[in-house]
Amino acid sequence: MRRGASPERRTEFPSARRTAGPSAEVAAFLDVLVVECGLAPNTIAAYRRDLGEFDAFLADAGLALETLAASHVLQFLMALRRRGLAISSVARHLSSLKMFLRFLYERRKLSADLAGLLDSPKKWSLLPDTLRIVQVDALLAAPDEQDPMCLRDRAMLELLYATGLRVSEVTALKVGDLNLEVGFLRCLGKGRRERVVPVGRSAIQATSEYLQRCRPALARQPDEGWLLLTRTGRALDRTNAWRLVRRYAQRLGLAGKVSPHTLRHCFATHLLQGGADLRVIQELLGHVDVATTQIYTHVDASRLKAIHRRYHPRP
């Protein structure tokens, strides 16, 4: 500490000493940061501290999240300053709160977008848009059966949601990467790390129909084996996959920027909401640095499939 500088006084609201852990809403938010955003443990700990203080402030003020207003957020920040926190520390609390408030608004825990009343932090991009299960169901059913490419598009959408793969991983799949009889696929993730992921029954059915009724007519000779093909028989690239998802979302009038990554985020969010174990979801998403053999070491394949079928809304 610089000589002559006064130490920053510790901020502690009375309820902070009585609170055993974070509220259910804060805990759910932290789960998303761990699983979907992949933030470092120290960063997660900082969010936990900041939002724990906000929890304590609400408890001391007798406030519920349902009645929260922007003025209450300002009161909290002013209380931090009165207790001696530096401007930089208050700014960090504000950044944490913005992300948390947006999280609550998107999940309809807040009736007003309080975060939108404040300056938008760059870190908001860490939390992609999510959809309700009924909205996902509508999106997966959106391809028009009159369009001959609907079978391919439905297979692509089902795979994105059923597996949580990145769009680059889905478009890089080859037919030989899928074993639909046992319900697994193999993919290469970031750093060319291989992992095995369960495929649910809905995605198996959609992909099987595409392979039997659509892909043979699209494939060029010699067949290079890419799973998802364009009308001209080339491999579907990530840009066109992104455009397809956006087109179907717009057709349904879904608000926000729905993209392939939205379905990946929904995959993780809906599994979490169903009670799936965080460690399993991290492995399914490829956030844990493990190879295929390590997947079977840490969590056996039969358990992965059982958990997927138990918790995924479209098993």
Looking at the chain, the number of H-run helices and the number of E-run strands are: 14, 3
Structural domain contains residue 169:
yes
For residue 72, give the CATH number of its domain: 1.10.150.130
What residues form DSSP beta bridges with 174?
A: 226
Structural domain contains residue 288:
yes
Please state whether the peptide bond connecting residue 216 to the residue before it is cis, i.e. omega within 30 degrees of 0.
no
What residues form DSSP beta bridges with 229?
A: 235
Closest alpha carbon to 127 in 235, 261, 230, 240 = 261
Alpha carbon of residue 124 to chain centroid = 13
For residue 241, give the CATH number of its domain: 1.10.443.10
CB atoms near residue 63 (< 10 Å): 15
Identify whether residues 175 and 115 lie together within a single domain. no
What's the pLDDT score for residue 303? 55
Identify whether residues 277 and 305 lie together within a single domain. yes
Identify whether residues 80 and 211 lie together within a single domain. no
Structural domain contains residue 1:
no
User: From CA 296, how far away is CA 32, in angstroms rounded?
Assistant: 25
Last residue of a domain, one of 126, 160, 182: 126
Structural domain contains residue 232:
yes
Identify whether residues 201 and 295 lie together within a single domain. yes
What residues form DSSP beta bridges with 179?
A: 184
Identify whether residues 77 and 187 lie together within a single domain. no
Structural domain contains residue 109:
yes
Model pTM greater than 0.85?
no
Structural domain contains residue 75:
yes
Identify whether residues 120 and 152 lie together within a single domain. no
Residues 6+ apart with CB under 8 A from 296: 196
Identify whether residues 255 and 113 lie together within a single domain. no
What's the pLDDT score for residue 157? 98
Identify whether residues 139 and 112 lie together within a single domain. no
Identify whether residues 47 and 107 lie together within a single domain. yes
Catalytically active residues, by annotation? 166, 190, 261, 264, 287, 296
Identify whether residues 257 and 147 lie together within a single domain. yes
What total of structural domains would you count in the chain? 2
What's the pLDDT score for residue 34? 85
What's the pLDDT score for residue 276? 76
Q: Are strands 184-188 and 178-179 parallel, antiparallel or unpaired?
A: antiparallel
Edge-to-edge strand list for the sheet holding 184-188: 178-179, 184-188, 194-198
Last residue of a domain, one of 69, 95, 126: 126
Tokens of 98: 């913005």
Q: Which structural domain range is residue 96 located in?
A: 14-126
Tens-digit pLDDT profile for the chain (315 aa)? 333 333 344 445 655 544 557 788 999 999 888 887 777 888 889 899 999 999 999 888 888 888 888 778 888 888 887 788 777 788 888 888 888 988 888 888 888 777 766 654 344 344 556 788 999 999 999 998 878 799 999 999 999 999 999 999 999 999 999 999 999 999 988 777 888 999 999 999 999 999 999 999 999 888 999 999 999 999 999 999 999 999 999 999 986 778 998 998 888 878 877 777 777 887 888 875 333 223 222 344 555 667 777 778 887
User: From CA 161, how far away is CA 159, in angstroms rounded?
Assistant: 5
Last residue of a domain, one of 71, 99, 126: 126
Identify whether residues 197 and 259 lie together within a single domain. yes
Structural domain contains residue 58:
yes
